[in-house]
A and B are shown apart, each in its own frame.
Chain A
């Protein structure tokens, strides 16, 4: 059974949102999405999914605090402790299993409330083998970047070009928080964090909430004149061990893409998509993910970046929204935000960053350091 996106609600990204509580920011995204879909959550929505992690939120059991502000009181609702695309995939399966006709998927970041971000990230490392080593946990990204650059022809300069592109794209995305005119040299000159990773290679944090409303095919056609079909989803994890994981490739993204392409019947990924939004929590992650997703031939990524293939007017626009580098790293909301941006592209509602005539798109996420988990969604309009 086909499942379509009929409602999108995004709260514009901001570095801090002191006037909102986490409930209020969720409420705003949900209101926007329900208005967009033309549904009443109390009668029309059959299931609600929130994507959240206790430690990001500062609660023992965060699931308690999810229902009221998204209209889920006394209704089926749950938390998926994963990225927004993990949650989206659960929603799609709930519809296909006949458990609900309409599902609302929510993810948010109120990361500005968190005073000890690096401490919480470190707390995700293995408590016996890795956490006692200390250091800022982004050393893992530094190690991974070094190993990826060594294994590919991509250099620090191409990674810097990715930062320049994404922050430039964010300048014309009204939802982005960190748009800036940055050139590759600025990135190369920025202070090192864990060599070769430099401070401008890292996506700055931001707050937001995103809600997407899914509906079964027949219902989607009634609710919307132009539903965005979720043609396939995939998710996968590599081993959590730092000691044995695949460092030079994003294996989780390869596996997740294989699953999504199988379900979406994508035969040749390189030519299948008009637009792609892929995780770029660190600059090198964008080319690494593009290779893992099969969107560019291994070995030709550096040349493609130099040619500008991934610019908004390039051969395959990548992260026209500005990505995490330009919009902001919104933790578990990152993937759902990218699905929402692709949906807006396919609707032709992406404003100044619109990719002309986009009909198929791909969104890919990664849960960030120190995880090896990611998810992929293949979207399309028309038949």
Chain B
């Protein structure tokens, strides 16, 4: 199979409200990624776009509207969509564009503009439910994630302060990220525990903020790097996987994300990883809520079920720990423009593994990283393993 690499990444600021239109944000991120790769849009054979619900931007066929901002005019252009999972899934789509031999160089752009949705992005999440079984109950996302968090904490007898420690770690890590929306160098576990309760046990500071933003990656084949004499250092995709579980979330045991374990096994098989905890040096698990980082570490098979809080408590997941997680600052610290979090997931893997993460750089040598993104009704995960 053809070797596929990421050779450039870019992202806009993540902010509560950006003045740029969706396509302007796409352009900004795409231009940065191309600049880093030392390429222009003329070098790009095809464009992949990723975004979560169209209703945030309030445009039907959002992908068609932003296509010129992504550099898609006159090119093969396609949008893939797996809810929040798009953050890691659209780079996987770009991977198969190149690995299949169809294209040599593909630009991936992910964008989300949640602030256009008034009064709050949560109102769009009123339309993600089964219209007969769920919608009459008027659920919202915090509500169901509270159930999942509660189930996870109850089964494994996890203390709330061990979950809150994740928010503290990530928001502190985000201080070193130039795009961050909610960095806080002084935040403590007490601050998280004392923040407003949204739906027990979820507190305000357990949740990542809604954001506007865009990110982009340049993904290409090994031959392309040689032929174009690309100077930007490559980081290779060594395994990709994705899986979706049943729509009926009420029928699942929420304590463990089985769909993520399946996606991870698919990626690890391709990457020839049989002992993830030993063979993976750091991780960017998807962390829209603090407990999700723990949940995803277990789903990624980086630790035993119920063991992730212990690793966090012992400092193993700190940037200088043995298994750093979310060195970027994650969604909790940098912000959560759903699909655009590609910039702090696959993008962070690229910057860390190519030694370009600046103040965020993990102090010891890292060779292999894994990331995942999570979406739909607590139901989908995409996983990518990358190597320097």
Contact = CB atoms under 8 A, between A and B. Distances in A.
Tell me, yes or no, whether A binds B.
Answer: yes
Interface of A: 53-55, 58-68, 72-82, 86, 89-90, 92-99, 120-121, 123-124, 126-128, 234-241, 251, 255-256, 259, 263, 367, 370-373
Given A64-B247, A93-B102, A371 B77 contact: no
Interface stretch (B148-156, B174-182, B329-337, B374-382): B374-382
B64 A77 contact: no
Question: Sorted from nearest, which 5 A-B pairs have the closest CB atoms?
Answer: A96-B100, A97-B99, A60-B127, A60-B128, A93-B100
Given A67-B247, A74-B243, A76-B263, A235 B82 contact: no
A110 to B, nearest CB: 12
Interface in B244-258: 244-248, 258
Interface in B228-250: 240-248
B30 to A, nearest CB: 15
B1 interface: yes
Of B58, B74, B75, B258, most A-chain CB atoms within 10 Å: B74
A239 B126 CA distance: 33
Given A66-B244, A80-B81, A98-B99, 14 more contacts: A55-B55, A73-B246, A74-B262, A75-B262, A79-B80, A79-B81, A79-B82, A80-B80, A82-B78, A94-B96, A127-B58, A236-B76, A251-B74, A255-B74
Contacts of A79: 80-82
B54 interface: yes
A77 B266 CA distance: 13
Interface in B294-327: none
Contacts of A259: 76
B42 interface: no
A92 B78 CA distance: 14
Contact of B60 (A121, A236, A263): A121
Given A63-B376, A94-B96, A53 B61 contact: yes
A124 B125 contact: no
B78 A90 contact: yes
A63 B1 contact: no
B363 interface: no
B102 A263 contact: yes
A74 B54 contact: no
A65 B96 CA distance: 24
Contact of B83 (A64, A251, A263): A64
Interface residues of B, number: 62
A61 B128 CA distance: 5
Nearest to A46: B266
Given A80-B79, A81-B61, A124-B59, A239 B244 contact: no
A372 to B, nearest CB: 8
Interface of B: 1, 21, 52-55, 58-61, 63-65, 67-68, 72-83, 89, 93, 95-97, 99-102, 124-128, 130-131, 240-248, 258-259, 262-263, 266, 375-377, 379-380
Contacts of B99: 93, 96-99
A90 B80 CA distance: 10
A98 B101 CA distance: 11
Contact of B243 (A60, A76, A92, A123): A76
Nearest to B130: A65
Contacts of B263: 76
Contacts of B60: 53-55, 120-121, 123-124
9 contacts: A53-B61, A73-B244, A74-B258, A123-B58, A127-B59, A128-B21, A235-B76, A236-B75, A239-B74
A55 B54 contact: yes
B64 A237 contact: yes
B245 A74 contact: yes
A237 B96 contact: no
Nearest to B380: A63
B63 A81 contact: yes
Contacts of B126: 60
B61 A60 contact: no
Contacts of B259: 74
A81 B102 contact: no
B58 A241 contact: no
Contacts of B248: 68
A16 B308 CA distance: 51
A97 B96 contact: yes
A67 B245 contact: yes
Contacts of A66: 244, 247
